[in-house]
Amino acid sequence: MIKSNVIKRKAIRVFFAILPYWQVQKQLMRNIEILEPICRGRKIKMQHLHLTLLFLGDVPTNQIHALRQIAKTISADKFEFKLDTIGYWRHNHIIYIQARNFPTELFSLADSLKIALSKDGFVFDNRAYKPHITLFRKAFQFVNTDLIKPIQWYVDQWFLIQSKPTNNGVEYIPLGHWNLN
């Protein structure tokens, strides 16, 4: 028997995101309930609702400390926005909610993270950042509507999250959080 001497480095799937607090979660869930009979996709569970800032994908566990150290150096301002529009992406069958006007501070935070991590050798695809919160996956019904009651979201911190596969779908595990100024 040949013994492989290749050391398999463990990697975990991670992303940076902002997470809704209880009032925002509740309102998002209310919208999901209203939309469910119309769009019949797979609804996102409350504990999975998030807005991705930057997706990293698989990162070796021995680099997670470096990720946290870099995150610590980011200085960005608090912001708020109104989630007011529901839309559908045909290419990936996702129904999402977004703001017609996301604040510049959100884009600055996402940009700063990308720049700081790139300097440290992390690589990303060059797709434009499209902030959104996924509400349904595998939806095959076009939905495009404005919310009668927009959802106000005040953001004062952001997170590093592990997306861990389990027998019961993914589990999101916060690995760190940082405050905005």
* Contacting ligand ATP within 114-133 (CB under 6 A): none
Q: Cα angle at 154 between 104 and 113, to 5 degrees? A: 45
- Report in angstroms how near the CB of residue 134 gets to ligand ATP at its nearest: 6
Among 170, 171, 174, 177, binds ligand ATP (CB under 6 A): 170
Residue 50 known to be catalytic: yes
Residue 91 known to be catalytic: no
Counting residues that bind ligand ATP (by CB under 6 A) gives 8
The closest of 129, 35, 149 to 84, measured between CA atoms, is 149
How far is it, in rounded angstroms, from Cα 74 to Cα 142? Answer: 38
* Contacting ligand ATP within 23-62 (CB under 6 A): 48, 52, 55
* Closer residue to ligand ATP, CB minimum distance, 76 or 110: 110
3-state helix, strand, coil in the chain (%, to 5): 25, 40, 35
How far is it, in rounded angstroms, from Cα 106 to Cα 132? Answer: 12
* Closer residue to ligand ATP, CB minimum distance, 54 or 151: 54
- Report in angstroms how near the CB of residue 126 gets to ligand ATP at its nearest: 11
How far is it, in rounded angstroms, from Cα 88 to Cα 176? Answer: 31
* Contacting ligand ATP within 61-100 (CB under 6 A): none
Q: How far is CA 54 from the centre of its chain?
A: 7
Which token pair is 134? Answer: 């996924």
* Closer residue to ligand ATP, CB minimum distance, 5 or 166: 166
Catalytic residues: 50, 132
| Residues at the site binding ligand ATP, with contacts judged by CB under 6 A | 13, 15, 48, 52, 55, 137, 163, 170
